[in-house]
Amino acid sequence: MNASTEPRPLARLEDVTQHFNVGRPNEQQVLHGVSLELHRHDFAALVGPSGSGKSTLLNVLGLLERPSGGTYELLGEATQALDDAARTRLRGRALGFVFQFHHLLPAFSALENVLLPVLMRDGRIAPSWRARARELLASLGLAAAEGKRPGELSGGMQQRVAIARALVLDPPLVLADEPTGNLDTASSDEVFALLRRLHAERGIAFVVVTHDPRLAARCDRLIELVDGRVRRDGPTGD
């Protein structure tokens, strides 16, 4: 396949740098010229020691931080010059987020938590969105839990609700930051298997930050970050 017919990447970073406390005595450079592409077929593990810049890179990919230098394109759109409102719109169209701690609202039901991104974007919830949220919960084995509050659910069930929330707006790319880090081994395996199924069935690309070598080995691609630089980027097991 030549360059002209290659599918456009979901995300492309070129020579991205990130500095904090610029101009101060404690100025720190966290990312050092990171370049990578993410495609629709990717199920990638992002690994590296603590302090290697994984969270910063995930925040840049998630449009939660603006890089200090380099370029970042998301869905083919250059993000550097976008104002906050445009970044928020693009984030809602392109990205879903799953975190180690599910951040569900305790006073809301599972269904209401899943619908939060819709409410934040539209200011209202149309019946079609409610039906989609119910379908998502059912597909994740949570049809009987849609009316329950987070405190009535197990940790694995709460994380599945958080995954449904990440998917409700049908993003092409999901960023998952230690999504199983707060779960026991059985629940961790269950949630990871669910992510793999969603990738296969729905064509969603995933970037999964993990410290668990077992889970990293079950991804298709391994991106290793060390001292803010990409040390390795290739198929798992190479």
Q: What is the mean pLDDT of the chain?
A: 86
Q: In what order do the strands lie in the sheet with 43-47?
A: 95-99, 173-177, 205-209, 43-47, 221-226, 229-235
Give the model's pLDDT for residue 207: 93
Q: How far from 61 is each of 55, 130, 192, 207, 215, CA to CA, in Å?
A: 10, 29, 21, 10, 21
Does position 173 have pLDDT exceeding 90, yes or no?
yes
pLDDT tens-place string over residues 184-223: 787 778 778 888 888 888 888 999 998 888 888 989 999 9
Q: What global pTM score does this model have?
A: 0.85
Give the model's pLDDT for residue 1: 42
Tell me which residue range forms the domain holding 137. Answer: 3-235
- pLDDT (mean) for 3-12: 73
pLDDT tens-place string over residues 35-86: 999 998 899 999 988 888 888 999 999 998 899 899 999 999 999 889 999 9
Confidence tier at 3 by pLDDT (50, 70, 90): very low
Kindly report the CATH number assigned to the domain that includes residue 88: 3.40.50.300
Instruction: Of 3-7, 95-99, 175-179, 231-235, give the range with the top mean pLDDT.
Output: 231-235
Give the model's pLDDT for residue 6: 56
Give the model's pLDDT for residue 238: 65
pLDDT tens-place string over residues 126-142: 889 999 899 888 888 88
Judge whether 35 and 91 are in contact, CB under 8 Å.
Answer: no
Does position 13 have pLDDT exceeding 80, yes or no?
yes
Nearest to 59 by CA among 226, 115, 68, 112: 68
Give the model's pLDDT for residue 222: 94
pLDDT tens-place string over residues 148-159: 998 898 888 888
- pLDDT (mean) for 217-233: 92
Does position 237 have pLDDT exceeding 80, yes or no?
no
Total domains in the fold of the chain: 1
- pLDDT (mean) for 161-171: 87
Q: How far from 7 is each of 84, 141, 204, CA to CA, in Å?
A: 28, 34, 15
